[in-house]
Chain A
Amino acid sequence: EVRLVESGGGLVQPGGSLRLSCAASGFSFRDYGMHWVRKVPGEGLVWVSHINSDGSITTYADSVKGRFTISRDNIKNTLYVQVNSLRADDTAVYYCAREYSAAAGYFDFWGQGTRVTVSS
């Protein structure tokens, strides 16, 4: 069974940092591209970042470029995102999602999410 379990969220002050993690199990993690997607309260889903299967290619939404860094550890089967210089509009539930294939471009499995609240 594919499982994605996020952790690391919490309450942080503006300008602060967090590292979110996503522990993967039930599939060959090293063979899949992975993404972070966030849902802002009262708004829709927003794609945040992508990393390819071996970690050599990363992409970011313009709103987080320069502040967020996605990475992965294919030995520990874990996806990460380092989120720095947090702003109030980064408040959201952050989901990790598996990409079915690079060509396909859709997310076939999602974690349950970890909540990040940016507030003083």
Chain B
Amino acid sequence: QSVLTQPPSVSGAPGQRITISCTGSSSNIGAGYDVHWYQQLPGTAPKLLIYDNTNRPSGVPDRFSGSKSGTSASLAITGLQAEDEADYYCQSYDSGLVRVFGGGTKLTVL
């Protein structure tokens, strides 16, 4: 069982907006640690998508955005495209500076 909780799956039609939640606790997100998001396309390595809650690395489209509030964080994808179909993971620190991931969310583009 993952320390950070994500919905196992979400889906949306092309062009729609979806959000993926990441719920933690007072020992990780609620303690003020930043949340980061990764995209893992089928058969490939994870790729950094959002860092420090809201920031996009160079090359990541602005269709992807992140937010954080209290003990939770969210990833939003607008203008959904077929190429966005992937697994998405949130990540943060936990007490003792252990890195923790969410269980992952499989995004299906209908």
A104 with B103, Cβ < 8 A, contacts A47-B98, A110-B45 known: no
Whether a CB of chain B sits under 8 angstroms from the CB of A29 is no
Contact A47 B101 (CB under 8 A): yes
Contact A50 B102 (CB under 8 A): no
Contact size class for A?
20 to 34
Given A104-B52, A107-B48, A113-B45, also A47-B36 (CB < 8 A): no
Q: Is the interface of B mostly helix, strand, loop or mixed?
A: strand
> Once the chains bind, are A59 and B97 in contact (CB under 8 Å)?
yes
B45 and A44: CB pair below 8 A? no
Q: How far is the CA of A35 from the CA of B100 in the complex (A)?
A: 12
A45→B38 contact, CB < 8 A: yes
Q: Which of B48, B100, B103 is in CB contact (< 8 Å) with A47? A: B100
- CB proximity to B under 8 Å, residues A35-54: 35, 37, 39, 43-47, 50
- Let me know if B103 and A43 touch, CB within 8 A: yes
Residues on A with beta carbons closer than 8 Å to the beta carbon of B33: 105
Residues in B lying within 8 Å of A, measured CB to CB: 2, 33-34, 36, 38, 40, 44-48, 51-52, 57, 87, 89, 91-93, 96-104
A/B interface sample: 23 pairs, CB < 8 A: A37-B46, A43-B103, A44-B89, A44-B101, A44-B104, A45-B89, A46-B101, A47-B91, A47-B99, A47-B101, A50-B99, A59-B97, A59-B98, A97-B46, A100-B51, A104-B52, A105-B33, A105-B92, A106-B36, A107-B38, A108-B48, A108-B57, A111-B45
